[in-house]
Amino acid sequence: MAKNSNIDKSQVVIQMKDIVKKFGSFTANDHINLTVHKGEVHAILGENGAGKSTLMNVLYGLLTPTSGTIEINGQQVDIDSPDKAISLGIGMVHQHFMLVEPFTVTENIILGKEPVKGIVVDKKEARRQILELSEKYNLKVDPDAKIEDISVGMQQRVEILKVLYRGANILILDEPTASLTPQEITELMDIIKNLTADGKSVILITHKLKEIKFAADNCTIIRKGKYIDTVDVEETSEDDLAAMMVGRKVNFKVEKKEQEPGDLVLEVKNLHAKDYRGVEILKGLNLKVRKGEIVGLAGVDGNGQSQLIEIITGLSKAVSGEVIMSGENVVNKPPKYMFEKGITSIPEDRQKHGLVLDFSVAENLILQNFGKAPFSKHGILQKDKIMQHATKMIEKFDIRPVGCENRLAGHLSGGNQQKVIIAREVTNDAELLIAFNPTRGLDVGAIEFVHKYLVQQRNKNRAILLVSFELDEIMGLSDRIDVIFDGKIVGSVDGKDADENTLGYMMAGGKNE
Amino acid sequence: MNKKSKIFNSNILYTFIAILIGFLVGAILLLAIGNDPVVAYSKLFSSVFSKPKYIVYSIVYASPLILTGLSVAFSFRTGVFNIGAEGQFVVGSLAACLCGIFLKLPAPLHVLVCVLAAAAAGIVWGAIVGFLKIKRGINEVLSYIMFNWIAFYLSNYVVNLKSVHRDGGGEATKNILESARMTAPKDIIKLTGCSDANWGIILAVVAALAIWFIMNKTTLGFQLRSVGYSKTAAEYAGISSNKIFLISMSISGALAGLGGAVQTLGMGERISQFATQEQYGFQGITVALIGSSHPIGCIFAGLFYGAMKYGGSKLTMVNVPQEVVNIIMGTIIIFVAITHVFKSLLTKNKGGQNE
CB contact under 8 A, B230 and A336: no
Mean pLDDT of A83-98: 88
For B122-147, b/e burial (b = at least 16 CB within 10 A) is bbbbbbbbbbbbbeeeeebeebbeeb
Question: Which of B220, B226, B236 is facing A347, going by the closest CB pair?
Answer: B236
Mean pLDDT of A84-90: 92
**Out of A96-110, B203-217, B238-252, which region has the weakest mean confidence (pLDDT)?**
A96-110
CB contact under 8 A, B230 and A352: yes
Q: Per-residue pLDDT tens for A49-74? A: 788 888 999 999 988 999 999 999 99
Separation in Å, CA of A359 to nearest CA in chain B: 7
Please state the three-class secondary structure of A380-441 as a single string.
EECHHHHHHHHHHHHHHCCCCCCCCCCCEHHHCCHHHHHHHHHHHHHHCCCCEEEEECCCCC
How far is A256 from A430, CA to CA, in rounded Å? 21
Q: Which of A310, A259, A224 is nearest to A49 (CA)?
A: A224
Q: Per-residue pLDDT tens for B28-55? A: 998 998 888 999 999 999 999 998 899 9
Nearest CA in chain A to B236: A353
Burial of A377 (0-12, 13-18, 19+ CB in 10 A): exposed
Residues of chain A with pLDDT > 90: what percent?
43
CB contact under 8 A, B236 and A353: yes
Q: Which of A88, A169, A144 is nearest to A158 (CA)?
A: A144
Q: Which of A221, A219, A220, A173 is nearest to A195 (CA)?
A: A173
Asked if omega into A176 is within 30° of 0 (cis), the reply is: no
Separation in Å, CA of B233 to nearest CA in chain A: 4
CB contact under 8 A, A381 and B351: no
E strands of A224-300, at which residues?
226-232, 264-274, 280-290, 294-298
Q: Please give the pLDDT value at position A328.
A: 93
Residue A14 has pLDDT above 60, yes or no: yes
Higher pLDDT pick, B333 / A387: A387
Nearest CA in chain A to B232: A353
Question: Which of B220, B226, B230 is facing A379, going by the closest CB pair?
Answer: B220
Q: Please give the pLDDT value at position A349.
A: 82
Q: Per-residue pLDDT tens for B268-283? A: 889 999 888 889 999 9
**Out of A298-302, A394-398, B83-87, B252-256, which region has the weakest mean confidence (pLDDT)?**
A298-302
Q: Please list the residues that pair with A23 across neighbouring strands.
A: A26
Q: Please give the pLDDT value at position A348.
A: 82
**Out of A353-362, B90-99, B332-341, which region has the weakest mean confidence (pLDDT)?**
B332-341
CB contact under 8 A, A411 and B354: yes
**AA letter at A154:** M
Query: Running DSSP on this structure, what letter comes out for residue A254?
Result: P
Nearest CA in chain A to B220: A379
In chain B, where the domains are located? 71-277
Contact A397, A423 (CB under 8 A): yes
How far is A192 from A176, CA to CA, in rounded Å? 11
Other Cβ atoms closer than 10 A to A180 = 18
**AA letter at A367:** L
Separation in Å, CA of A495 to nearest CA in chain B: 30
How far is A312 from B56, CA to CA, in rounded Å? 60
Mean pLDDT of B86-90: 97
Q: Please give the pLDDT value at position A2.
A: 39
Q: For chain B, give the mean pLDDT.
A: 89
Element (H, E) at B223: helix B219-229
Residue B19 has pLDDT above 80, yes or no: yes
Contact B294, B8 (CB under 8 A): yes
Q: Per-residue pLDDT tens for A205-224? A: 987 788 888 889 999 999 88
**AA letter at B135:** K
Residue A291 has pLDDT above 70, yes or no: yes
Q: Per-residue pLDDT tens for A411-448? A: 887 788 988 998 998 777 789 999 998 887 777 778 88
Q: What residues in B contact A370, CB-CB < 8 Å?
A: 219, 222-223
CB contact under 8 A, A352 and B232: yes
Contact A169, A124 (CB under 8 A): no
CB contact under 8 A, B353 and A334: no
Q: Per-residue pLDDT tens for B91-103? A: 999 999 999 999 9
Q: Please give the pLDDT value at position B69.
A: 97
Q: What residues in A contact B354, CB-CB < 8 Å?
A: 49, 411-413
Residue B340 has pLDDT above 70, yes or no: no
Higher pLDDT pick, A24 / A493: A493
> Torsion angle of alpha carbons A330, A331, A334, A338, nearest 10°?
40
How far is A141 from A133, CA to CA, in rounded Å? 10
CB contact under 8 A, A368 and B237: yes
CB contact under 8 A, A26 and B3: no
How far is A34 from A417, CA to CA, in rounded Å? 29
Q: Please give the pLDDT value at position A513.
A: 39
How far is B127 from A301, CA to CA, in rounded Å? 41
Higher pLDDT pick, A476 / A2: A476
Separation in Å, CA of B174 to nearest CA in chain A: 43
Q: What residues in B contact A352, CB-CB < 8 Å?
A: 230, 232-233
Residue A150 has pLDDT above 60, yes or no: yes
Q: What CA–CA distances, in Å, run from B226 to A416, B74, B76, B77, B129? A: 20, 13, 12, 9, 21
Q: What residues in A contact B226, CB-CB < 8 Å?
A: 356, 359, 363, 367
Residue A337 has pLDDT above 60, yes or no: yes
Mean pLDDT of B244-270: 95
Q: What residues in A contact B293, CB-CB < 8 Å?
A: none
Contact A354, A438 (CB under 8 A): no
At A11 the three-state DSSP class reads strand
CB contact under 8 A, B229 and A357: yes
Q: What is chain A's percent helix, strand, coil content, to nearest 5?
A: 35, 30, 35
CB contact under 8 A, A359 and B355: no
Q: Please give the pLDDT value at position B174.
A: 92
Q: What residues in A contact B230, CB-CB < 8 Å?
A: 352, 355-358
Cα Dmax for chain B: 74
At B214 the three-state DSSP class reads helix
Interface of B with A (CB under 8 A): 1-4, 217-223, 225-226, 229-230, 232-240, 349-355
Residue B352 has pLDDT above 60, yes or no: no
Interface test mutation site (partner A, options B2, B134, B218, B219, max chain A beta carbons within 10 A): B219
Burial of A171 (0-12, 13-18, 19+ CB in 10 A): buried
Q: Please give the pLDDT value at position A171.
A: 94
CB contact under 8 A, B233 and A363: no
Mean pLDDT of A99-121: 85
Question: Which of A57, A356, A380 is facing B233, going by the closest CB pair?
Answer: A356
CB contact under 8 A, A49 and B354: yes
Residues 6 or more apart whose CB falls under 8 angstroms from that of A151 comprise A184
Interface test mutation site (partner B, options A356, A360, A372, A434, max chain B beta carbons within 10 A): A356
- The boundaries of every CATH 3.40.50.300 domain in chain A are 12-246, 265-342+433-438+463-513, 344-429
Band of residue A4 on the pLDDT scale cut at 50, 70, 90: low
Phi and psi at A41, nearest 5°, equal: -105, 115
Q: What CA–CA distances, in Å, run from B213 to B121, B122, B207, B217? A: 23, 21, 10, 5
Q: Please list the residues that pair with A218 across neighbouring strands.
A: A42, A232
How far is A50 from A438, CA to CA, in rounded Å? 21
Nearest CA in chain B to A225: B355
How much is the pTM? 0.75
How far is A125 from A115, CA to CA, in rounded Å? 7
Q: Please give the pLDDT value at position A195.
A: 92
- Continuous H helices in A137-229: 152-165, 182-197, 209-215
CB contact under 8 A, A54 and B349: no
Query: Running DSSP on this structure, what letter comes out for residue B166?
Result: P
Q: Distance between terminal CA atoms of chain A?
A: 29
Long-range contacts of B3-9 (CB under 8 A, 24+ apart): B3/A406, B3/A407, B4/A406, B8/B292, B8/B294, B8/B297
Q: Please give the pLDDT value at position B342.
A: 67
Mean pLDDT of A334-351: 88
Interface of A with B (CB under 8 A): 23-24, 26, 28, 48-49, 51-54, 57, 62-63, 313, 315, 334-336, 338-339, 347, 352-359, 363, 367-368, 370-371, 376, 379-381, 406-407, 410-413
Q: Sort strands A8-23 and A67-72 into parallel, antiparallel or unpaired.
A: antiparallel
* Phi-psi map region of B321: left, alpha, beta (phi>0 left; psi -120 to 50 alpha): beta
How far is B11 from B14, CA to CA, in rounded Å? 5
Residue A154 has pLDDT above 70, yes or no: yes
Question: Which of B217, B235, B353 is facing A381, going by the closest CB pair?
Answer: B217
Q: Please give the pLDDT value at position A284.
A: 94
Mean pLDDT of B51-76: 95
Residue A10 has pLDDT above 80, yes or no: yes
Q: Please give the pLDDT value at position B322.
A: 84
> What's the CATH fold of domain A265-342+433-438+463-513?
Rossmann fold (3.40.50)
Q: Please give the pLDDT value at position A510.
A: 66
Contact B352, A53 (CB under 8 A): yes
How far is B152 from B91, CA to CA, in rounded Å? 8
Other Cβ atoms closer than 10 A to B68 = 37
Band of residue B346 on the pLDDT scale cut at 50, 70, 90: low
Give the range with max mean pLDDT: A182-196, B9-23, B120-134, B265-279.
B120-134
Q: Please give the pLDDT value at position A204.
A: 93
CB contact under 8 A, B238 and A336: yes
At A226 the three-state DSSP class reads strand
Q: Please give the pLDDT value at position A1.
A: 40
Question: Which of A57, A381, A407 is facing B222, going by the closest CB pair?
Answer: A381
CB contact under 8 A, B223 and A370: yes
Q: Sort strands A170-174 and A201-206 into parallel, antiparallel or unpaired.
A: parallel
Contact B263, B95 (CB under 8 A): no
ipTM value for the complex: 0.81
Q: Please give the pLDDT value at position B7.
A: 53
CB contact under 8 A, A363 and B222: yes
* Separation of CA B77 from chain center: 15
Band of residue B1 on the pLDDT scale cut at 50, 70, 90: very low
Q: Please give the pLDDT value at position B351.
A: 39
Q: What residues in A contact B239, CB-CB < 8 Å?
A: 336
Element (H, E) at A502: helix A500-507
Other Cβ atoms closer than 10 A to B257 = 36
Q: Please give the pLDDT value at position B139.
A: 92
* Phi-psi map region of B273: left, alpha, beta (phi>0 left; psi -120 to 50 alpha): beta
**AA letter at B227:** V
Query: Looking at the domain covering A344-429, what would its CATH class be?
Result: alpha beta
Question: Which of B229, B232, B353 is facing A23, going by the closest CB pair?
Answer: B353
Higher pLDDT pick, B64 / A397: B64
Question: Which of B4, B226, B232 is facing A367, going by the closest CB pair?
Answer: B226
Q: Per-residue pLDDT tens for B154-200? A: 999 999 999 999 887 788 999 999 999 998 888 888 888 888 889 99
Q: Please give the pLDDT value at position A3.
A: 54
Q: Please give the pLDDT value at position A101.
A: 82
CATH of domain A12-246: 3.40.50.300
How far is B257 from A221, CA to CA, in rounded Å? 62
Q: For chain A, give the mean pLDDT.
A: 87
Q: Please give the pLDDT value at position B354.
A: 36
